[in-house]
Chains A and B, each alone.
Chain A
Amino acid sequence: MFSIQNNQHDSSYLSLVSNVGPFNEFIDEYDPNEAFNTLSNARVLVIGAGGLGCEILKDLALTGFKKIDIIDADTIEVSNLNRQFLFRSGDVGRPKAEVAAEFVKRKSMGKNLSIVSHYCRIQDKPQSFYKQFDVVICGLDSVEARRWINATLVSLVDSNLNGLIPMIDGGTEGFRGQSRVILPTVTSCYECTLDMITPKTTYPVCTIANTPRLPEHCVEWASVLEWPRRFPGKKFDPDLSEHLDWMYETAHRRAIHFKIDGVTKELTLGVVKNIIPAIASTNAIIAASCCNEAFKYVTSSNPILNNYMMYSGDYSIFTYTYSHARKPNCPVCGNHPKTIKVPGSWDLRDFIEHIKEKHDISIGTPSLATATKQLYFRSPPSLEEFTRKNLGRKLSELLDDNEEVIVSDPKLPISLRLLVKLE
């Protein structure tokens, strides 16, 4: 029997755990009490406290999650206030993660809700930080950050699938968006689908240099060609008003010269920061989908998304869900690091011979490197010369125990990753 006290705060979602969904994969194993307990105890990490992050945090709090962490390295800007609804004008300049956590906690009195905020970059946290969570939800706007967290979560999974933490990734671009559930090493990961990313809109340099037709061409001319010519070595910072003013005026003069309309300060900022207008309703829909997946996964009340849902709201409302296949030669999830035990007294040459034998790399010598050091590069010649001296050095001098070594060879479809244990 389902015996949770049906209090006012939890009423909105209790019916979702008390009844087994018609498509539930584990009808015999499903226990509503256990589902409720897992939901109350599950630790969720929200990455990003921006447009999607605000929605996600609110949705999680309203669907019964009690232990939430949120991480974001950004501070609030005036232009965020129209859609990042957990922020008020008085909060401008403060860390997004902190303000979002405070706001949701304040609004949910008596709900026993813990929200811990982290005002830092995701890269600043160690692996041990990420290990403590049951599920990670991303509301990010950067490919780089997604690749990083994806690779981190993949690296946490062992051969028995222990340490597997699902990554639920939301993304929006204007009226379009997507949400996906990544089970690292089981389903396709973020890196598997990298080739599908729409490239940034860029224009041929010769067009912006000689035959501008669009206002964007003028802004690109100012930022790509004129800025480095006028201020060699100085980095353009779109958040500095004197930098942006210069960019706008330069682009504007060019536009007048070529009789092009439409160069405004907003357009200039949009082009140099590559801003795609964010739509609050798209964020709300995608965030809801992400939190729905987190809820289903944690409670096991219904099957989770398999594994990619795209949403389009520009001409009509349309979604399409499909199972994105894994990429067999994905550099992140396609080759899990293998542990190899070798004597520390071996020199690098012995080690390379050993690997060649084990992995059937018969022609020539592969390239080897760690995260911080080039051990040996077979090409180009200048690197070969520089790293050649390492061939005669002992492994114990070159490597820390348990350090990851990457082995690349033209004969290998993907680089080998080895965790080297020294004996």
Chain B
Amino acid sequence: MLKIRQLQKKKQDEDASLQSNAKDDKIAVSNNSTSAARVSAAQLRLQKDLTELDLPKSIKVNFTNPSNIFNFVLSIVPQEGFYKMGLFKFTVEINENFPIDPPKIRCMQKIYHPNIDLDGNICLNILREDWSPVLNLNSVIIGLNFLFLEPNPNDPLNKEAANVLAKNKNVFASNVKVAMRGGSVDGERYDRVI
């Protein structure tokens, strides 16, 4: 274990040369004091992501239990497009393996959308196959918002909705209007979101 002793010696020499021109500072480097609970790497990262959220007023993040930042509800009110002025809510679950694992997001309402199925599953690449730890919470939320501005008929989860969107935008637009008011489309009743 001579390696460590050698490293320690090198470090001391470095510190000594640093100290000669160090300024008077009350903050000293820790001497290995231990507190009971340690902040997990996931919490460190999540706190940073939350602090850096930069969202338009139409997107809100609400904590049902504010002492637990790992679970929250996201609400989006699209400002334009087919879904203009609807209020869409999502549960967001982050686990201790964040940011290796992506946030788990589900739509809480039954809505008519080509990329969201009737159970609230969402087809958004950065939530699954294209997730990477270099993405952050903000990028995922912005991506979700984008799904309402530009629903994508090529990646359908609700196939009927996707077909209508691909064939006739006007019919799709009126279907969305009916569904958002809590009406039925193709025999399926949707939740009121407006």
Using a CB–CB cutoff of 8 Å, the interface residues on chain A facing chain B are 25-26, 29-30, 38, 42, 127, 134, 143-144, 147-148, 151-152, 155-164, 183, 186, 191, 194-195, 197, 199, 202-206, 209-210, 224-225, 228-229, 297-298, 300, 304, 331-332, 336-341, 358, 366-367, 369-374, 377-383, 386-387, 400, 402-404, 406, 408-410, 414-415, 417, 419, 421
Contact = CB atoms under 8 A, between A and B. Distances in A.
Interface string B17-36: 00000000111111111111
Given A155-B38, A158-B32, A205-B122, 4 more contacts: A338-B28, A369-B43, A403-B36, A404-B39
24 contacts: A38-B1, A143-B100, A152-B38, A160-B12, A161-B4, A161-B11, A204-B128, A205-B128, A206-B115, A206-B157, A209-B121, A304-B3, A336-B29, A337-B30, A339-B27, A369-B69, A372-B37, A378-B51, A379-B52, A382-B60, A406-B39, A408-B47, A408-B52, A415-B44
B62 interface: yes
Interface of B: 1-4, 6-8, 11-12, 15, 25-41, 43-45, 47-48, 50-53, 55, 60-63, 66-67, 69, 96-97, 99-100, 115, 117, 119, 121-123, 125, 128-129, 131-134, 155-157, 159
B39 A204 contact: no
B45 A331 contact: yes
A204 B2 contact: no
Contacts of B26: 340-341, 358
A148 B50 CA distance: 22
Contact of A417 (B39, B40, B100): B39
A183 B28 CA distance: 23
A410 B40 contact: no
Contacts of B115: 206
A157 B157 CA distance: 50
A151 B41 contact: yes
Given A367-B50, A381-B60, A163 B32 contact: yes
Contacts of A197: 100
Contacts of B43: 369, 371, 406
B119 A229 contact: yes
Contacts of A155: 34, 38
A387 B129 contact: no
Provide the main secondary structure of the chain B interface.
loop
B1 A134 contact: yes
A162 B31 CA distance: 9
B37 A410 contact: no
A372 B69 CA distance: 10
Contact of A338 (B27, B44, B55, B159): B27
Nearest to A34: B2
B51 A194 contact: no
Given A183-B7, A191-B41, A197-B100, A159 B31 contact: yes
Contact of A380 (B11, B15, B44, B55): B55
B119 A228 contact: yes
Given A338-B28, A339-B28, A340-B26, A147 B41 contact: yes
A158 B123 contact: no
Contacts of A300: 1-3
A383 B32 contact: no
Given A134-B1, A341-B26, A151 B52 contact: no
A366 B129 CA distance: 33
Given A336-B30, A358-B27, A408 B48 contact: yes
Nearest to A386: B66
A380 B53 contact: yes
Nearest to B11: A161
Nearest to A400: B35
Contact of A209 (B25, B41, B62, B157): B157
Given A29-B2, A210-B156, A225-B119, A383 B63 contact: yes
B27 A340 contact: yes
Contacts of B52: 379, 408, 410
Given A26-B6, A147-B41, A382 B47 contact: no
A178 B123 CA distance: 34
Closest A-B pairs by Cβ, 9 of them: A371-B37, A158-B32, A380-B61, A300-B2, A386-B66, A159-B29, A408-B51, A206-B155, A206-B123
A247 B96 CA distance: 26
B123 A205 contact: yes
Contacts of A406: 39, 43-44, 47
A195 B121 contact: no
B30 A158 contact: yes
Contacts of B157: 205-206, 209-210
B66 A382 contact: yes
